[in-house]
Each structure stands twice: as structure tokens, then as C-alpha cells.
Amino acid sequence: MALTHRSPNLLKPLSAAALSLAQPLRRPFSSSSDDDTATLTVETSVPFTGHRCDPPSRAVETTPRELMSFFRDMAKMRRMEIAADSLYKAKLIRGFCHLYDGQEAVAVGMEAAITKKDCIITAYRDHCLFLGRGGTLVEAFAELMGRQAGCSKGKGGSMHFYKKDSRFYGGHGIVGAQVPLGCGLAFAQKYSKEEHVTFALYGDGAANQGQLFEALNMAALWDLPAILVCENNHYGMGTAEWRAAKSPAYYKRGDYVPGLKVDGMDALAVKQACKFAKEHALKNGPIILEMDTYRYHGHSMSDPGSTYRTRDEITGVRQERDPIERIRKLVLSHELATEKELKDIEKEIRKEVDEAIAKAKESPMPDPSELFTNVYVKGYGVETKANGNLRLEQIGKKSQLYSLEADSGKISNPLPQEIGRRVLNINADL
């Protein structure tokens, strides 16, 4: 049975801005020239709300090129997630899978305000953030399907995307555990005297985790350049925020730490907020950003997403707050592109996604020996393969030889019960 108590804030940003349905996204707009690098000034849908800080201006500077890139990038993210849904239902993706469709404005807006030298760390809803950091569709789909060409070599799956060269540190499955790690990254940046920051993302469900407050306390004590981003999609798994949090004003949760509430469905508002937060964190230490956003899918693929909320609620958010439609209507109303040109872009993206899936399927599954790699730091529990066998060299302890019999063809399943038994034996020896 769907809950009858619905958060009054889900549809509030547009009504608060007194936007009509006839012209839902036409905003004050100015331009100095017609080329795609001209500086445009666009007003955010609603004002920012600050806690212990003066909010930034609602006037956001952008360019036609940036707006078009927002549309393309969000459309690509949306299509990737829809395709992942189909692959999961076809049993080509196994295990946990959490989709990001509806929340794309957070990913693209944040990237527009920072550089690849700034760090990002997030929870398990990580596919689109990986794409925003410069990851490819092939790497994403290959990882989702557990293939060698995946960004984590097929060993991480949906929840553990990773791209170290762009300072994207995952993809974490333990609720809230990425926040202390993010503060650790910020500590390293300050220790190294870097002029960069770390964005640690978490959901409203994780906002009640004790480790979050412990990490925030340390970050405040040491004035770390840490930006905690609460992606408030209003449901922690199947629990509405009003049932889990006595105070759902997450941007105020830091008490002594400044905070800012942002319309997380408005890519330009996210960009402005992240730019403001980065400047603040480099000078004054941590800050909390609460992104008011919404997910269209359920919590994970095992959740239909309609038992604890009404279909009318989901439809209403799609119609009034969809981040891609915001940009589409902004582009069209100021004649930066035609409807046909935008539809052609979406067709190109569908083709690009289909080609990436086909290429990802060609990638082989990881070799069985990969079961034992990337467990220890190199040199501390080294794994080597010799003569079709896997040798575990244990520092300070006797070495033992365990044959996987993979090369002989006796093992057809990459993770047979026999291997599991031998792994247990190894662990017992260690």
C-alpha cells in the first residue's frame, strides 16, 4: 500500500518560483553575442537557502556550449541507466544495481564547477558520476556485466566503479562509509598543500549514520577542504525521509558547519552551489550541500519503487522538475537549438549506447585467477601464476600451492565450490 503522507517539498521548487505550466522553464536570460562561447546569465529556479553562510547569487553564468553539453551529457546518462535496467532484466547484469535516472543534474552540475584534480567519492549509485568524471560507456557496461574491460576489471560491479586518474574513488556499498574516506582524501589534499577539494556524496538514508558526524567533526576541527553532498531523493530504500529523520533539513545537520540547500534538479543551480562550496572549503573548511533531487527507479532493481510512493507522485516530478526537460526548454526558448536537433542528439546517443553494449559483451569474463588479485598491497601477499597453478606467497609464512585446474578445463565455472573451499583453507592458514 502506498503511503498517504507525501513530502510537500517534492514538487515545491517550481511552485515556489511561481512558474506557470505554459512557460514552466522560461527564466531571465541575457546574452552579449550569438556564438557558443558567449556568456549567458540565467537565474536559478528557486533561491538557495543558507545555514551559517550567505547564499550565492541566483544569477548563474553559462554559455550555449555548456548548456548543450548539459543536455547531451544528461541524455547519455539517462539512456545508459535505462539500458542498464534492460540488461539487468535480461540477467546480463547480476547482483545489486542502483540506477541514477532523475538525479543527473547533480552529476553534470558538479563537474561544471570543478576540475579533475578535485576528488569525488560516493555510495553505490555511482554509474553517472563515473561517466561525468570521463569514464566511457564501454567501461561502464563492461563493469556492470562483470567483464575484463570494465573500469574495475569486472570485479567491482555496479556498486564499485572507480577511476583513479580522474580522482573518482568509487562506488562504496557500505552505507555512509565513503564519507570518512572522503574526509581522508581532503586531509591528504590539505597535507600536500593542494588547492583542491573533495566532494563526498551520500543519500538522505545515510545522513543518520554516526560515522558521518564523526568524520564531519574531524573535518571541522582541522578545516579540511571537504564538501559533504547529501543527495536527498526523499527515500532511503523504501523509507520516506519524514519517517526516518526528525529533522530532514540535512543542510543544517552540521550545526557548527555551514550548509546550503540546492534545487538538485537544476543543473545550473548545482553548478553555482558547487562553485560556491569549493571557494568556501578552500578558505574556511567543510560545508554541507543538500541537493533536493529525485530518483525515478526504485532504490535498486529489486525494488519496484511504487509500493511506498504513488505513481502520480513520480509522474508529477517527471512533468514539473525533470532535469533534462529543464535544459531542453531553456535551450529551445532561447533558440540555441531546434527540437529536431535535440531529437537527433538523442538518436545519436541511443546508437552510441547500443554500440557500447555490443562492444562490452565482446569482452571476456575475468580469469579465475583474478579471484586472488587486488587483495593485498603489492609485495604483501603476492599472487603469481606458474604452470597453470596459483601460488600465494605469504610474507613470513610458508608458501602453499593451490591448483585451480583452470587450464586443464576441469573447472568450467569461474567460481566453483571447490575454489571457495580452498580459499577458506588459505584464510585459515593466514
pLDDT tens for 153-195 read 999 999 999 999 999 999 999 999 999 999 999 999 999 999 9
Structure confidence at residue 380 (pLDDT): 67
How far, in Å, CA of 370 to CA of 393, rounded?
15
Which parts of the chain register pLDDT below 70? 1-34, 379-430
What's the residue count for the chain? 430
CB neighbourhood size of 217 (10 A): 16
DSSP codes joined into one string, 363-375:
SPPPPGGGGGTTS
Name the grid cell of 383.
599472487
Structure confidence at residue 25 (pLDDT): 42
Type of residue found at 261: K
Structure confidence at residue 369 (pLDDT): 86
Structure confidence at residue 374 (pLDDT): 81
What is the H or E stretch that residue 114 is in? none
Structure confidence at residue 377 (pLDDT): 78
CB neighbourhood size of 425 (10 A): 12
At residue 43's C-alpha, the angle toward residues 42 and 49, to 5°, is 145
Is the CB of residue 381 less than 8 Å from the CB of residue 395?
yes
Provide the 3-class DSSP secondary structure of residue 337: coil
Phi, psi torsion values for 6, nearest 5 degrees: -110, 140
- CA-nearest of 282, 272, 267, 314 to 67 is 267
Structure confidence at residue 382 (pLDDT): 52
- CA-nearest of 132, 137, 75 to 271 is 132
Phi, psi torsion values for 282, nearest 5 degrees: -70, -30
Is the CB of residue 162 less than 8 Å from the CB of residue 168?
yes
Structure confidence at residue 430 (pLDDT): 38
| Whole-prediction pTM | 0.84
Structure confidence at residue 378 (pLDDT): 74
Is the CB of residue 207 less than 8 Å from the CB of residue 248?
no
